[in-house]
Amino acid sequence: MTDKMIDANRALWNEWTRVHETSEFYDIAAFKAGRETLRPLEIEELGDVTGKSLLHLQCHFGQDTLSWARRGAQVTGSDLSDEAIALARALADELGIDARFIAGDIYELPEKLDERFDIVFTSWGVLAWLSDLPRWAQLIARFLKPGGRFYIAEIHPFAAVLDREEDGRIVVEDGYLAASATGPAGAGSTGASDASGAAGAAVRYEVESSYADASVICENTVTYQWDHSLGEVVSALAGAGLAIDFLHEWPFSVHPRSPQKIQADDGWWYVPGRHDLPLSFSLSAHSPA
């Protein structure tokens, strides 16, 4: 990943942070009043975090990080966006929550943080921003205590290749294993590969707005993302020496992205009549004691 790509992604997320701070999607006022931002899936699968040290990678402006703190964890959050981290710190101070936040490229985090944690956590929309999964997995292993646990809940990579035609049929729109398989993270975007389709190539997208508020037209429109199959995720973690505890695939998504979905009473988004498509996954792994 070049400095140009890092700078473009940081600029995008800095601007998105300003949009997100006042958006209904994130509803900071409700969060300040005690609203839970963690989903029951993460809470149930990760379990009791009371008294445990937790590192949250790609934490955005820290609502989930602070939610884990409310549940008793000793939390540290990290994110590329310095404006997101500034907002996270401000939220923690206002709410009187003990939390630490570190700004910077995820791959440079070991230069800023020399600790090990009981838990490393990350969730929802994080993988597409990672240029090097083996290095990411090694970083996770580096930050886990012996016996420590890694947990991720994420959009399933296969879901990004699906679309729905006008007659309602679900079709495979893109190649799952191709370098340009996944779509953009924001609304109103177009993508083109920066390389010749080689595995791991960056894909350049131009986005008009944020996923949290499509009504706001952004000035920073260029973003670089990467495609990863589920097999790459598992192999990277195993290659870093982590032992996989479970891998669960789910027929629901955290957002209404195509193919058109409906939101159920449980808050998840489903493809109508199709509960046999993997739209999300959750994975737990641990560092050998």
CATH number at residue 266: 3.40.50.150
Which pLDDT score is estimated for 121? 98
Q: Is residue 188 in some structural domain?
A: no
Which pLDDT score is estimated for 170? 83
Q: Is residue 169 in some structural domain?
A: no
Which residue intervals of 79-182 are DSSP H helices?
A: 82-95, 133-143
**Percent of the chain residues past pLDDT 90, beyond the cut:** 67
**For residue 260, pLDDT beyond 80:** no
Q: Is residue 168 in some structural domain?
A: no
Mean pLDDT in residue range 190-219: 68
Query: Which residue segment(s) compose the domain that 157 sits in?
Result: 3-162+228-286
Least-confidence region, from 32-46, 55-69, 88-102, 247-261: 247-261
Which pLDDT score is estimated for 208? 81
Which pLDDT score is estimated for 210? 81
**Residue 200 banded pLDDT, cuts 50, 70, 90:** low
- The answer to whether the peptide bond before residue 157 is cis (omega within 30 degrees of 0) is no
**For residue 189, pLDDT beyond 70:** no
**For residue 213, pLDDT beyond 70:** yes
Angle at 212 (CA atoms; ends 139, 159), nearest 5 degrees: 60
- If one counts the domains in the chain, the total is 1
Q: Is residue 117 in some structural domain?
A: yes
Mean pLDDT in residue range 60-89: 98
CA 283/CA 35 separation, integer angstroms:
25
Q: Is residue 203 in some structural domain?
A: no
CA 239/CA 243 separation, integer angstroms:
9
CB-CB contact of 207 with 250 (8 Å): no
DSSP state of 242: P
Q: How far is CA 184 from CA 133, 204, 249, 263, 264, in A?
A: 19, 9, 22, 21, 24
Q: Is residue 282 in some structural domain?
A: yes
Q: Is residue 173 in some structural domain?
A: no
Q: Is residue 209 in some structural domain?
A: no
